Copies of this chain bind each other. A is one copy, B any other.
Amino acid sequence: MLGLMQDYPLLTHTILDHGALNHGERELVTRSVEGPIRRCTLAELRSRALRVAKALEREGVKLGDRVATMAWNTERHVETWYGVMGLGAICHTLNPRLFAEQLDYIINHAEDDIVFVDLTFVPVLEALKQRLGTVRKYVVLTDGAHMPNTSLPNAVAYEDWIAEVDDDFSWKHFDENTAAALCYTSGTTGNPKGVLYSHRSNVLHALMANQPDVFGLRSEDSLLAIVPMFHANAWALAFSVPAAGAKMVMPGAGMDGASIYELLDSERVTATAAVPTVWLGLLQYLEQTGKKLPYLKRVVVGGAACPPMMIRKFELDYDVELIHGWGMTEMSPIGTTGNMKHATSILDREAQLKLKEKQGRTPYLVEMKVVDDDGKEIPRDGKSAGHLLVKGPCVSKGYYRLEDSVLTADGWFDTGDIANIDELGFMQITDRDKDVIKSGGEWISSIDVENAAVGCPGVAEAAVIGLPHPKWTERPLLIIKRDDGSAVDADEVLAYLDGKIAKWWMPNDVVFVDEIPHTATGKIQKMELRKQFKDFQFSN
Q: Which residue numbers of A lie inside 8 Å of B, CB to CB?
A: 1-8, 10, 14-15, 17-19, 21-23, 25-26, 63-64, 90, 175, 177-180, 195-201, 204, 207-208, 210-213, 216-220, 243-247, 332, 339-343, 345, 361-362, 364-365, 367, 391-400, 407, 411, 413, 424-425
Contact = CB atoms under 8 A, between A and B. Distances in A.
A358 to B, nearest CB: 14
6 contacts: A4-B195, A4-B400, A5-B201, A14-B364, A211-B211, A212-B216
Contacts of A424: 25
A114 to B, nearest CB: 17
Contact of A90 (B1, B5, B196, B204): B1
Contacts of A23: 341-342, 425
B245 A341 contact: yes
A26 B342 contact: yes
Contacts of A19: 364
A18 B364 contact: yes
A46 B5 CA distance: 27
Given A213-B219, A216-B216, A393-B10, A175 B22 contact: no
Nearest to A27: B342
A6 B244 contact: no
Contacts of A216: 212, 216, 218
A207 B177 CA distance: 19
Nearest to A343: B25
B208 A4 contact: no
A3 B177 contact: yes
Contact of A391 (B8, B63, B246, B395): B8
A246 to B, nearest CB: 8
Nearest to A390: B6
Nearest to A10: B393
A246 B1 CA distance: 32
B393 A8 contact: yes
A178 B3 CA distance: 6
A339 B196 CA distance: 36
A199 B1 CA distance: 11
Nearest to A341: B219
Of A2, A5, A413, most B-chain CB atoms within 10 Å: A5
B3 A362 contact: no
Contacts of A247: 342
A41 B11 CA distance: 37
B2 A179 contact: yes
Contacts of A90: 1
B364 A6 contact: no
B396 A4 contact: yes
Given A5-B200, A175-B2, A211 B220 contact: no
Given A8-B392, A10-B393, 12 more contacts: A3-B177, A3-B179, A3-B200, A4-B179, A5-B201, A5-B395, A5-B396, A8-B393, A25-B343, A207-B364, A219-B340, A245-B342
Task: Pick the 10 closest A-B CB pairs, nearest first.
Answer: A3-B198, A219-B341, A8-B393, A1-B64, A22-B425, A5-B201, A4-B196, A212-B218, A207-B207, A243-B364
Nearest to A210: B211
A397 B5 contact: yes
B198 A21 contact: no
Contacts of A197: 3, 5
Nearest to A392: B8
B342 A3 contact: no
A411 B6 CA distance: 8
Given A212-B212, A345-B220, A6 B395 contact: yes
A4 B399 contact: yes
Contacts of A342: 23, 26, 219-220, 245-247
A416 to B, nearest CB: 17
Contacts of A199: 3
Contacts of A204: 207
Contacts of A6: 391-397, 407, 411, 413
Nearest to A25: B343
A413 B7 CA distance: 12
Nearest to A89: B1
Contacts of A332: 5
Given A3-B198, A4-B398, A340-B220, A362 B22 contact: yes
A21 B425 contact: yes
A211 B199 CA distance: 19
A204 B9 CA distance: 12
Contacts of A220: 340-342, 345
